Amino acid sequence: MGYQALYRSWRPQNFKDIIGQEHIVTSLTNALKIGRLAHAYLFSGPRGTGKTSTAKVLAKALNCLQADSPSPEPCNECANCREITVGSSLDVIEIDAASNRGIDEIRDLREKAKFSPANSRYKVYIIDEVHMLTTEAFNALLKTLEEPPAHVVFILATTDPQKIPLTVLSRCQRYDFHRLPGEELMNHLAKICKAIGVKADETSLNVIAKSSEGCVRDALSLLDQVISYCGQSLNPQDTAKVLGIATDEAYFQMADLILTRRLADAILFIDQLLLAGKDLYQFTQGLIWHFRNLLLLLTCGEVGKEQLLAKDRALEQAKRFGRSGLLKMIKFLSETLSEMKYSSQPRINLEIALVQITTGEKPSSSFKIAEVESGSNDYKVQAEEKTPLNKENLNRENKEEKVSPPVTFTDNFNPPAAGKEVKESKPKEGKELNLKKENLNSDLDQIQRNWKKVLDIIVKKRPGLANVLKKGRLLSFKNNCLTIGFGFGFSGYSLLLNDPKNKQLICQVLHDIMGITVQVACTEIPESEEAILEKTYLTEIDQLSKDPSQEKEEDNDPLVAGLLTMFSGEIVSEGE
């Protein structure tokens, strides 16, 4: 026979070989000793933690011929044990529910389950990924699972127990398999390396254990892959190279670059990672875990069950960051990781994060669209003086004389060119707006009255943008510039609001409804002023919404009038 992969050749053959699942091993061996055997078991847990291997060991324990009854220690030498090990036993049937998930397969199982075992005490059905069965298949299995023949034992295995019907769960003994702690998995890998004559240092094994995320099968597959590259001696550099991940040393170096604010070296370090074939999303994940370990080391004196090498160096680095600094790093990088997940250029997201971390600079919280000269695509940027926001300042701001607009970013929204014929917008009777050029700076109330119409149109074209705009507050309107304020979460909305297409849509809708050409600015409302503005804004909006002309128009709606006439009714109250 040819070479057999490590995860196959080192598969547990008895209960004592199963590692990291002592709670399950103890329960099953005790049940075998005293004869308290269930007719159905459910093994649930992450991939590669030993569910199917434990099911086979249990099947051997039930059918071992060396004992007169089920034994907690199968011999692995009798005919039944050998057949179960190689998968040729007629009485131990493995079914992959992912590819045999229909009602016909379960009906066939029910019919065959009635027959007695050929050579064993029990007929054992191992159904892997049982959550993949259809609802009809579960219903067909239910009666047999509830009252199976005395010679049948069902062992169901799944990675997603939430998808299994409660009627099935209640008829099984459930055992949850856990991921292995890093230290225990490292010891297991070291034991295997010693047995097969491979020299492996602790750092290399730590890298493999972390990459496997606590799954034994994954760890053995990765170890097999690394041995194929490194030969009989493993080293951290080659191990990380094969697995495409960064070593602990890389995380220490990046943390040092951040501490010393060496931005250029940090960007160069990212280049080196990419040239080495590292995945930046995975690197950012690892960097977050590095800071998490430093935080726990600084706060608790340990990192739990995580294996942390170079503890003295880690403690020194943790003290330099401080608890507050580590918390900020974890929070900031976690936000960056979320952005990278859906970004087509994750490198740029990470580099921007490094710039902000090392320099302390953040994007401006105010974005304004400047009026674009005909045929010009230049972006104009001017300085803006930030004034605290409150009701008094807002009222004064709306009455100020016209001045040069602040920080502006030109956009692609162009007003009609001079000399070009433009259709005049004709508002309905009773809703004439006094929108002469000299009064444009004091028409915030008029825009607020029409803001709901603006949102109703935008929601049909871009629902996401409309939902964000609903969270905003119309703060001021001067110099043909409408300022919208946002409170908590503005940093998450800024990319959407700064999209030229979105800003152009807002301007276009305002132009279509009110016949005015405006600019749009988005700004952040400080937490200390957000509550005051919220109360003021809601009060003003409530008053403006009671426009008599609008109420009169709604009352004159022919559809409403027809309904009132048909049913001899009257309007008592109105609501959305």
Q: pLDDT tens digits, residue range 505-531?
A: 888 888 888 888 888 888 877 655 555
Q: Using CA atoms, how far apart are residues 292 and 326, in angstroms rounded to an integer?
A: 8
Tell how far CA 417 is from the center of its chain: 47
513 has which bridge partners? none
Give the pLDDT confidence score for residue 5 in this predicted structure. 92
Report the residue count for the chain. Answer: 576
Lookup: tokens for 381: 């940027």
Give the pLDDT confidence score for residue 305 in this predicted structure. 46
Give the pLDDT confidence score for residue 429 in this predicted structure. 44
Q: Using CA atoms, how far apart are residues 506 and 292, in angstroms rounded to an integer?
A: 42
Cα dihedral sign, 23-25-28-29: negative
Tell how far CA 99 is from the center of its chain: 29
CATH topology of domain 182-243: Helicase, Ruva Protein; domain 3 (1.10.8)
Tell me the domain boundaries of the chain.
6-176, 182-243, 263-357, 367-416+424-546
**Lowest-confidence segment of 27-36, 111-120, 405-414 by average pLDDT:** 405-414
Half-sphere exposure of 369 (CA within 13 A, CB side): 28
Give the pLDDT confidence score for residue 147 in this predicted structure. 85
Taking 50 as the threshold, does the pLDDT of residue 551 lie above it? no
Cα dihedral sign, 566-569-574-576: negative
Q: Using CA atoms, how far apart are residues 574 and 560, in angstroms rounded to an integer?
A: 12
Q: Which of residues 42 and 381 earns the better pLDDT score?
A: 42
Domain spanning 367-416+424-546: CATH superfamily: DnaA, N-terminal domain (3.30.300.180)
CATH topology of domain 6-176: Rossmann fold (3.40.50)
Residues 6+ apart with CB under 8 A from 201: 234, 235, 236
Average per-residue pLDDT for the chain: 79
Going by pLDDT thresholds of 50, 70 and 90, the confidence category of residue 470 is confident
Taking 50 as the threshold, does the pLDDT of residue 137 lie above it? yes
Lookup: tokens for 388: 């605290």
Mean of pLDDT values over 485-493: 66
Where is 494: in which H helix or E strand?
helix 490-497
Q: Using CA atoms, how far apart are residues 481 and 441, in angstroms rounded to an integer?
A: 8
Q: Using CA atoms, how far apart are residues 433 and 427, in angstroms rounded to an integer?
A: 8
Q: Using CA atoms, how far apart are residues 76 and 364, in angstroms rounded to an integer?
A: 70
Q: Report DSSP state, residue 20.
A: S
Q: Using CA atoms, how far apart are residues 148 and 37, in angstroms rounded to an integer?
A: 13
* Cα dist from 491 to 407, 435, 506, whole Å: 18, 34, 20
485 has which bridge partners? 473, 523
Of residues 515, 539, 344, the one with CA closest to residue 433 = 515
Give the pLDDT confidence score for residue 511 in this predicted structure. 85
Burial zone of 181 (CB within 10 Å; 0-12 exposed, 13-18 middle, 19+ buried): middle
pTM to 2 decimals? 0.59
**Lowest-confidence segment of 40-49, 127-136, 213-222, 363-372 by average pLDDT:** 363-372
Mean of pLDDT values over 441-453: 77
Contact (Cβ atoms closer than 8 angstroms) between residue 504 and residue 413:
yes
Q: Using CA atoms, how far apart are residues 202 and 220, in angstroms rounded to an integer?
A: 16
Question: Which amino acid, 151?
Answer: H
Give the pLDDT confidence score for residue 193 in this predicted structure. 95
Mean of pLDDT values over 283-291: 93
Q: Using CA atoms, how far apart are residues 164 and 101, in angstroms rounded to an integer?
A: 13
Taking 50 as the threshold, does the pLDDT of residue 433 lie above it? no
Helices and strands of the chain, counted as H and E runs: 24, 12
Mean of pLDDT values over 169-174: 93
